[in-house]
């Protein structure tokens, strides 16, 4: 059944943000300190170039422009704004600001994909943001204008990337892995000059550093983004940002089990709210008497 296939695809796709949730531990425990842009570049560019070397397929015509646009939105700009927000805001506030992403996808989906905005979509956006706030926000959290603007820009960048990737698809004759490689490479190339200007390169690398960079590149980028972009193709656009909420869930769980961080009842309630929001946006079975617009029949968008 279509609904079962969407559910199974959602579970597989959720592995990507679950992996991204481990980035905090890898960064703090294995990577050189205070070099987030270097970590982003090393996460994107080597994995992207490896996939391009394997795929050996290039875009053509208008697809060059489209590939650059989605590569910048999904990877380059998103990573940059993400770490600007991280520098200016506590992690919980940054995550809460980023939780606006489903609402942006909802609006862009209505404009560009002709998706319908329904009441349960709006409820899911509110419940998801509340869940993220309960999960990660701390009482002493403070706001910073630059950080908030960067967090909003990052959320809008990823939201636009999801919707445009859904609208355009991928170049004819190009597989998911190769298209993932192009987006990672474009994003990595965009990040290189920013990294060189903003951060000093480490003079030496330890074994732990090499392990950390390898994990981010192979698992955090090559594996995670391949199944993420596969999910964008197969799932309704609105489902994707809600699956992204799995990232703070995974980060919180790993902090509890590996770093021994406390887990409060409020955080547990927040986690349950996030799960509820994800369930609310899953496509619902349509009644046979309801007319189904042609666009929804083709793309199986969220209903």
186-201: per-residue pLDDT in tens?
Answer: 999 999 999 999 998 9
Q: What does pLDDT average to over the chain?
A: 87
**Rounded to whole angstroms, how far apart are CA atoms 300 and 223?**
25
- DSSP state, residue 159: H
| Residue count (the chain) | 303
Distance CA 218, CA 47 (A): 6
- Using an 8 Å Cβ cutoff, are 74 and 161 in contact? yes
Question: pTM score, two decimals?
Answer: 0.86
Low-confidence ranges of the chain (pLDDT < 50): 288-303
d(CA 220, CA 21): 9
CA 55, 61, 62: angle at the middle one, nearest 5? 105
The answer to whether 45 and 189 have CB atoms below 8 angstroms apart is yes
Whole-angstrom distance, CA of residue 257 vs CA of residue 214: 23
Tell me phi and psi for residue 76, to 5 degrees. Answer: -60, -60
CA distance 137 to 275: 17
Question: What is the model's pLDDT at position 233?
Answer: 93
pLDDT for the residue numbered 93: 75
In degrees to the nearest 10, what's the CA dihedral of 123, 275, 15, 152?
40
The 10 Å Cβ neighbour count of residue 264 is 10
Alpha-carbon distance values, 99 to 130, 177, 224, 242, 289 (Å): 9, 28, 20, 9, 36
């Amino acid at each position: 059944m279509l609904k079962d296939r969407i559910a199974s695809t959602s579970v597989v796709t959720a592995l990507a943000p679950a992996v991204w949730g481990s980035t905090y531990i890898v960064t703090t425990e294995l990577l050189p300190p205070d070099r987030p842009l270097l970590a982003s570049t090393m996460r994107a560019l080597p994995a992207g170039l490896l996939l391009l070397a394997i795929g050996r397929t290039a875009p053509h015509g208008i697809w060059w422009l489209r590939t650059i646009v989605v590569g910048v939105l999904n990877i380059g700009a998103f990573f940059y704004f993400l770490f600007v927000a991280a520098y200016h805001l506590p992690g919980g506030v940054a995550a809460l600001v980023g939780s606006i992403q489903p609402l942006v996808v909802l609006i862009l989906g209505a404009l560009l994909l002709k998706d319908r905005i329904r009441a349960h979509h709006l409820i899911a956006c509110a419940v998801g943001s509340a869940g993220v706030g309960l999960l990660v926000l701390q009482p002493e959290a403070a706001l910073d204008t630059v950080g908030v603007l960067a967090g909003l820009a990052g959320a809008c960048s990823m939201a636009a990337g999801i919707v445009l990737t859904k609208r355009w698809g991928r170049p004819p004759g190009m597989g998911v892995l190769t298209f993932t490689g192009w987006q990672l490479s474009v994003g990595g190339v965009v990040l290189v000059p920013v990294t060189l200007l903003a951060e000093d390169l480490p003079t030496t690398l330890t074994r732990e550093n090499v392990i950390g960079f390898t994990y981010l590149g192979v698992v955090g980028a090559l594996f995670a983004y391949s199944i993420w972009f596969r999910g964008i193709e197969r799932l309704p656009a609105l489902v994707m940002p809600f699956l992204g909420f799995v990232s703070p869930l995974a980060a919180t769980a790993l902090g509890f089990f590996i770093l021994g961080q406390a887990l409060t009842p409020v955080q547990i309630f927040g986690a349950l709210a996030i799960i509820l929001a994800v369930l609310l946006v899953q496509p619902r079975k349509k009644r046979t008497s309801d007319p189904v617009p042609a666009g929804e029949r083709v793309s199986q968008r969220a209903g």
